[in-house]
Amino acid sequence: MRSILQQYFPDQELASIKTPSKPTRLEQQRIILRLFDYRVCDNAAKDDLERKAQRSAMLSTPYGQKNSKPA
């Protein structure tokens, strides 16, 4: 944080920077997610991602492919 202040806001003191309120932070998060076409990763999304990762791992290993025999 200090290096960002020094480079872009040299007249600002670190002590003068306050944490944004929760509503402000959530609104900024929403805007950033929308700008980058991202979404919040909730439990359902995490479960789906884990299933996809497990399937991908099985398909990319010789033991996970059908009719494969261990070496």
pLDDT value of position 44: 93
Helix locations, 1-71, DSSP H? 2-8, 22-35, 43-59
Give the Å distances, CA to CA, from 5 to 11, 17, 19, 25, 30. Answer: 8, 10, 15, 19, 24
Residue-level pLDDT at 54: 93
Q: What pLDDT sits at residue 58?
A: 86
- Ranges in the chain, pLDDT < 50: none
Give the pTM.
Answer: 0.50
